Amino acid sequence: VIDGFSSSEVNFVVIGMAAPAACTRFSDNYDLKEELGKGAFSVVRRCVQKSSGQEFAAKIINTKKLSARDFQKLEREARICRKLQHPNIVRLHDSIQEENFHYLVFDLVTGGELFEDIVAREFYSEADASHCIQQILESVHHCHSNGVVHRDLKPENLLLASKAKGAAVKLADFGLAIEVQGEQQAWFGFAGTPGYLSPEVLKKEPYGKPVDIWACGVILYILLVGYPPFWDEDQHRLYAQIKAGAYDYPSPEWDTVTPEAKNLINQMLTVIPSKRITASEALKHPWICQRERVASVVHRQETVDCLKKFNARRKLKGAILTTMLATRNFSSKYEPQGRSIITKKGDGSQVKESTDSSTTLEDDDIKEDKVKGGVDRSSTVIAKEPEELRIVCPNKTTSQLSTNSYSSARKQEVIKMTEQLIEAINTGDFEAYTKICDPHLTAFEPEALGNLVEGMDFHKFYFDNNVIVKNCKAVNTTILNPNVHLLGEDAACIAYVRLTQYMDKQGVAHSLQCEETRVWHKRDNKWQNVHFHRSTNSPSYTFAPSAHK
């Protein structure tokens, strides 16, 4: 979705835009209810159709904010959504154009993400994984039969129709989908999500329907063991693994998976697209169509446990990770065309997952010969930036200046809140710290040895033991090169270098440096820190300020 609104943020999905319908007032046909989610250009609300009493999700788009290019993409998405009608695909029902707003009416998908539902189940087996991938393959087969390639198959786009047991899996978000003729292979641009990209896309070769099957192979692998087949802290190495098709089946978790399941994965994760299994063929595979006889029905607790960690990582959101993994000094580089080129770096985590599991990338507008400086797009991606990150033309109108001033003020708010948080850390004021941080704060930091920490207990240890106050006579912290990315109206991400000066008990001066990213969310008009990530070359625990909370 062009405004940064992700299907994974709420328990329903928005998937497309239809061509302008007859100019019927939305309020004549629907009653608007509570807000379900919000993006930079839109708001999504539950609505009830007056004639039937049926519930839907209405996405209300502020059309004044959309560029001509945005409209073109939405029109493409609309054409695709209108011709896809399948039980395993979220459906677009209505489209109403009014003067300044466009109303899009979709299925109200209330069951949440498939992967979140799996970890909440009391029992989960290989046979259950087979049933899940069968429904996904059914949706992909319908797309391919209608000349559509999704290009962004991933867990965030696999939802459940309702919370009822056995609810249908629904494929969502056709924002990157393209139309192809038959088995056409062509270069349609660099698009997708890093851990799910196919070798042919990474090699910048012609591609088509087989890219969706590759992504299905990655998803099936995760469904069986709870972690992905390709992962590395460094994106260069991640992409090299994918291009080589370098994955394996480690013991002991894969020892209990049937050979038939591995056989299907192998046929999906075949590097040469022409030799890769098709959706139609995959649905006829014994592990799918003879599930009762072939697939194991033993409960897979280890898979559920690993999947919980995998889900926690995914929840850090693409926009957060895009900033977190930006260039070493957290500064963006821009092309003459004004697109943001962000070189990814590993985040140092030990959890077995690809570098960035949820950021959707698209580069179908910039041609090879326009990229300057020999940039290798197999390791450099062009992200879909939020509105606030776009380069503004020199000839600013009054309204543009006003918008920029508003954005600048909000960015200063985030910097100020970050400074206040660090001050609370330096003074050992846990009460002030808890007021600024969300109670369910998540963090990656050296002290946690690569694990994702959730909640306040881990951080409270350092405050309770007065670590900084005991070891230092004086502490001063400077924030260098702060970069604030505004994510809609009520969220922001700040990346910066944190330079800490301190005097030890012997009166000797020291300095430490680390790189930090903090994600802020505005609730009740108050900013709260909901996640942070810190990397540092300083050893953990050697000095209190290295244990920056």
What proportion of the chain, given as a percentage, has pLDDT over 90? Answer: 40
The answer, yes or no, to whether residue 91 has pLDDT greater than 50, is yes
| Contact yes or no for 295/261 (Cβ under 8 A) | yes
Tens of pLDDT, residue by residue over 331-358, are 333 333 333 323 333 333 333 333 444 5
The answer to which of 166-170, 357-361, 407-411, 451-455 has the lowest mean pLDDT is 357-361
Question: Topology of domain 408-536, per CATH?
Answer: Nuclear Transport Factor 2; Chain: A, (3.10.450)
Dist. CA 382–CA 242, nearest whole Å: 19
DSSP H/E element including 30? strand 30-38
- CA distances 498 to 36, 150, 422, 515, Å, are 37, 41, 10, 6
With b for 16 or more beta-carbon neighbours within 10 A and e for fewer, the 440-451 pattern comes to ebbbbbbbbeee
DSSP reduced 3-state for 477: strand
What proportion of the chain, given as a percentage, has pLDDT over 70? Answer: 74
pLDDT at residue 259, rounded to an integer: 95
CATH code for the structural domain at 27-107: 3.30.200.20
Tens of pLDDT, residue by residue over 400-421, are 434 556 677 888 889 989 988 9
The answer to which of 384-388, 408-412, 514-518, 522-526 has the lowest mean pLDDT is 384-388
- CA distances 425 to 185, 318, 476, 497, 547, Å, are 55, 28, 11, 16, 10
Residue 367 is labelled as binding a ligand: no
Dist. CA 320–CA 359, nearest whole Å: 9
The answer, yes or no, to whether residue 264 has pLDDT greater than 80, is yes
The answer, yes or no, to whether residue 311 has pLDDT greater than 50, is yes
Per-chain mean pLDDT for the chain = 77
Band (397; pLDDT cuts 50, 70, 90): very low
- CA distances 247 to 240, 263, 387, 427, 501, Å, are 11, 13, 38, 48, 45
Which tokens sit at 294? Answer: 């072939």
Q: Tell me, what amino acid is at 260?
A: E
Average pLDDT over residues 36-54: 85
| Contact yes or no for 403/492 (Cβ under 8 A) | no
Q: Which ranges constitute the DSSP H helices of 245-379?
A: 259-268, 279-283, 286-289, 291-294, 301-314, 318-324
Which tokens sit at 546? Answer: 């290295």
Phi/psi of residue 271, each to 5°? -65, -40
The answer, yes or no, to whether residue 325 has pLDDT greater than 80, is no
Sign, Cα dihedral of 230, 233, 239, 243:
negative
CA angle 100-103-107, nearest 5°?
A: 165
pLDDT at residue 6, rounded to an integer: 40
3-state secondary structure 426-475: HCCCHHHHHHHEEEEEEEECHHHCCCCEECCHHHHHHHHCCHHHHHEEEE
| Contact yes or no for 176/216 (Cβ under 8 A) | no
Band (363; pLDDT cuts 50, 70, 90): low
- Orientation of helix 259-268 relative to helix 210-225, angle to 10°: 150
Phi/psi of residue 342, each to 5°? -115, 115
Dist. CA 438–CA 440, nearest whole Å: 5
Phi/psi of residue 90, each to 5°? -65, 135
Query: Between residues 495 and 393, which one has the greater pLDDT?
Result: 495
pLDDT at residue 549, rounded to an integer: 56
Alpha carbon 501 to its chain's center: 36
In terms of Cα–Cα distance, which of 472, 473, 450, 447 is closest to 461? 447
Dist. CA 222–CA 253, nearest whole Å: 12
Cβ count near 326 (within 10 Å): 24
pLDDT at residue 139, rounded to an integer: 97
Tens of pLDDT, residue by residue over 476-491, are 888 888 889 888 778 8
Cβ count near 278 (within 10 Å): 18
CATH 3.10.450.50 range(s) for the chain read 408-536
Which among 128, 152, 173, 347 is annotated as catalytic?
Answer: 152
Q: Which residue has the tokens 């001066």?
A: 509
Torsion of CA 34, 38, 42, 43, to 10 degrees: 0
DSSP label at residue 65: G
| Burial grade of 477 (CB within 10 A; 0-12, 13-18, 19 or more) | middle
Which tokens sit at 440? Answer: 């369910």
Q: Catalytic site residue 152?
A: yes
Dist. CA 425–CA 126, nearest whole Å: 47
Tens of pLDDT, residue by residue over 112-139, are 899 999 999 989 999 999 999 999 999 9
Query: Between residues 252 and 6, which one has the greater pLDDT?
Result: 252
CATH 3.30.200.20 range(s) for the chain read 27-107
Which superfamily does 112-182+191-299 belong to? Answer: Transferase(Phosphotransferase) domain 1 (1.10.510.10)
Query: Between residues 391 and 46, which one has the greater pLDDT?
Result: 46
| Beta strand pairing call for 437-444 and 526-536 | parallel
Query: Between residues 543 and 95, which one has the greater pLDDT?
Result: 95
pTM assigned to the model: 0.60
The answer to which of 17-26, 67-76, 283-292 has the lowest mean pLDDT is 17-26
pLDDT at residue 500, rounded to an integer: 82
Dist. CA 224–CA 269, nearest whole Å: 15
